[in-house]
Amino acid sequence: MTTTDNQATEAPDPASAPGASRAAKASRAVLPPLGLGLALVGLWYYVSYIVLEDKRRFLLRPIHQVIKVGFMDADNRTEELQALWSSTRIALIGLSIAISIGFTLAIIMSQAKVVEKAIFPYMVTLQAIPILAVVPLISFWFGTGATSRIVVCVMISLFPIIVNTLFGLQSAEQGAHDLFTLHHASRMTRLRKLMFPAALPAIFAGLRISAGLSVIGAIVGDFFFGKGDAGIGQLLRRHASRLNGEELLASVILSSLLGVVVFGFFGWIQKRATGRWHDAISAEA
Amino acid sequence: MVFPDGTEALRDISFTVDKGEFVTVVGPSGCGKSTLLKIASGLLEPTGGSVAVDRDHLGYVFQDATLLQWRTVRANVELFSELNDVPTAERRQLAQEAIDLVGLKGFENHYPKSLSGGMKMRCSLARSLTLKPPVFLFDEPFGAVDEITREHLNSETQQLFQNEGFAGLFITHSISEAVFLSTKVLVMSARPGRIVAEFDIPFDYPRNPELRFDPDFAELSGRVSVELRGSHS
């Protein structure tokens, strides 16, 4: 039967998946991005040394210089790591709040079409507001410290969670709903045993997008609201104004690394939660 | 039965299915066959007339297997027991019996994505069998599987009918499936669906697949076919 060979590729069974083919598989997953990475580093050097003449080299410092000044220098490193920690904390708090609000709203909207129709336009409106436009308002209401940074983070990362969770909750097929109707299942049972599990793949898709956005949100918030611990946004701002090319690039690299880690983390959870039954088209994390 | 948009789906339909009877309704697509079952099951309220169906433990399989993707075969088959608060041990046993009955032994821990179309349908049948249904509704369950699998499933269905002794109401647009399975075949007209002919099918159970090549079977199928074509106008 076709089922048995399907099973073999999933189960980490050493007998049916020989180590050699696994190594080949791993190298196929690692080599393409590694190759492209090397090519990009090459391009970077090419621009630094060949395209830019000496006195304009500050526009793009060579990569080893960035690593040396940005990460190897003890003072700079401490500063970067503190900023990283501050931004990570804001991103995680913001993301948790966005997840709570997003889940709650999506579950409420999934219970009645009328509620969905009432709330949804406002969600779209909120999503469409440029953060820049409300920065003054946010600072009036919440000050210029961590609270405001979290607010920005939530505003930026909320929408994909709501949309994907709602879409997921509504994705259970009518036939499956009929089964639950025939057996007089309560709303709660239906939500718990049908709508929520059916929604999991979509929920994780939303979480991965929002996780990345929450990092952006934390850094953008930090860029505008710098009171208290300096996050990566403050570092970016400071280094940009002082034309510190190496430190600036180091901060950029750090912020995208944070985004990648958070994205990968949720990809990993997704695989743990739905990989056995759902054919996810997911990037290997 | 008239839908809110004014479509009249069914008109003047009256029939009974007794225990030990297997009644099949054949009709052109869109004639309201599925609507008929939805009314019988209580999923739809008729706009007129009355329905009396023993709906405790109603067996009901749909056109799709409607398995829950995140549940293994066993957990899918246990679903109804779970919704009806059957104790775990009993639930397990009912599920195992049903799984054995439809020939899915050995696939208990597989997820639906790794099952073939025919196996998904078997799983769906097993799920209803856990209810020990006195009444079993089939809504074109084998329409999506290939011809060979369909013949297998037909044989197994009449075997189940013979062993379990439920009252069966089966919807299909395949004449040979209808005649092969049933004690009685009803022919429905195009919309609004009415019953235009009724055939008693005399063959003894258990029925062999070879029955399909019996001259009497062919003759009976021919008569059903004539009525079905006549109903299409």
C-alpha–C-alpha distance, residues B155 and B150, integer Å: 9
Q: What is the reported pLDDT for A1? A: 39
For residues A90-119, average pLDDT: 93
Facing residues of B186 across strands? B25, B198
Locate the domains of chain B by residue range.
1-58+133-233, 69-132
Q: Which phi and psi angles does A183 have, rounded to 5°?
A: -100, 20
Query: Which range is least confidently modeled, A10-24, A155-169, B160-174?
Result: A10-24
pLDDT band at A177 (very low <50, low <70, confident <90, very high): very high
**Chain B residue with the nearest C-alpha to that of A172:** B68
Name the CATH superfamily, with its identifier, for domain B1-58+133-233: P-loop containing nucleotide triphosphate hydrolases (3.40.50.300)
**Chain A residue with the nearest C-alpha to that of B62:** A175
Locate the domains of chain A by residue range.
1-60, 66-274
pLDDT in tens, A178-193: 999 988 889 999 999 9
pLDDT in tens, A214-248: 999 999 998 888 777 888 888 888 888 888 888 88
From chain B, the residues in CB contact with A279 under 8 A are 113
Model pTM score: 0.80
CA distances (Å), origin A18, targets A21, A284, B182: 6, 20, 52
Q: What percent of chain A has pLDDT over 90?
A: 35
Q: Chain A: give the shortest CA distance to residue B135, in Å.
A: 14
**Nearest CB partner across the interface for A277, out of B79, B82, B113:** B113
Structure tokens at B20: 């030990």
Q: Are B41 and A276 in contact (CB < 8 Å)?
A: no
Which CATH number does the domain A66-274 belong to among 1.10.3720.10, 3.30.70.1290, 2.170.270.10, 3.90.1280.10? 1.10.3720.10
C-alpha–C-alpha distance, residues A183 and A185, integer Å: 6
Tell me which residues of chain B have a pLDDT lower than 50. none
pLDDT band at A20 (very low <50, low <70, confident <90, very high): low
From chain A, the residues in CB contact with B111 under 8 A are 276-277
* DSSP structural state of residue B209: G
Q: What is the reported pLDDT for A282? A: 44
Q: Which residue has the higher pLDDT, A57 or A95?
A: A95
CB B177 within 8 A of CB B150: yes
Strand order in B167-172's β-sheet?
B59-61, B135-139, B167-172, B22-26, B184-188, B195-200
CA distance between the termini of chain B: 20
* DSSP structural state of residue A48: I
CA angle A274, A277, A283 (to 5 degrees): 55
Q: What is the reported pLDDT for A14? A: 44
Helical (H) or strand (E) element with B197: strand B195-200
Average pLDDT of chain A to the nearest whole number: 84
Q: Which residue has the higher pLDDT, A14 or A53?
A: A53
CB B32 within 8 A of CB B26: no
Q: Which phi and psi angles does B167 have, rounded to 5°?
A: -90, 120
Whole-number CA gyration radius for chain B: 18
- Answer whether residue A281 shows pLDDT above 60: no
**DSSP SS3 for B115:** coil
Q: Are strands B195-200 and B184-188 parallel, antiparallel or unpaired?
A: antiparallel
* DSSP structural state of residue A195: I
**Chain B residue with the nearest C-alpha to that of A275:** B70
Q: What is the reported pLDDT for A26? A: 82
CA angle A7, A9, A15 (to 5 degrees): 90
Q: Are B68 and A176 in contact (CB < 8 Å)?
A: yes
Q: Chain B: give the shortest CA distance to residue A11, in Å.
A: 12
**DSSP SS3 for B170:** strand
pLDDT in tens, A115-150: 999 988 988 888 888 888 888 899 999 988 889 999
**Nearest CB partner across the interface for A197, out of B62, B70, B80:** B70
pLDDT band at A72 (very low <50, low <70, confident <90, very high): confident
From chain A, the residues in CB contact with B112 under 8 A are 277
Q: Are B119 and A3 in contact (CB < 8 Å)?
A: yes
**Chain B residue with the nearest C-alpha to that of A195:** B68
CB A199 within 8 A of CB A171: yes
Give the total residue count for chain B. 233
pLDDT band at A7 (very low <50, low <70, confident <90, very high): very low
Structure tokens at B41: 């099951």
Q: What is the reported pLDDT for A244? A: 80
Residue type, A208: R
As for the ipTM of the complex, it is 0.84
Q: Chain A: give the shortest CA distance to residue B188, in Å.
A: 24
CB A63 within 8 A of CB A41: yes
Binning chain B into helix, strand and coil, the percentages to the nearest 5 are 40, 15, 45
Whole-number CA gyration radius for chain A: 23
pLDDT band at A18 (very low <50, low <70, confident <90, very high): low
C-alpha–C-alpha distance, residues B72 and B87, integer Å: 19
C-alpha–C-alpha distance, residues B72 and B109, integer Å: 5
CB A210 within 8 A of CB A157: yes
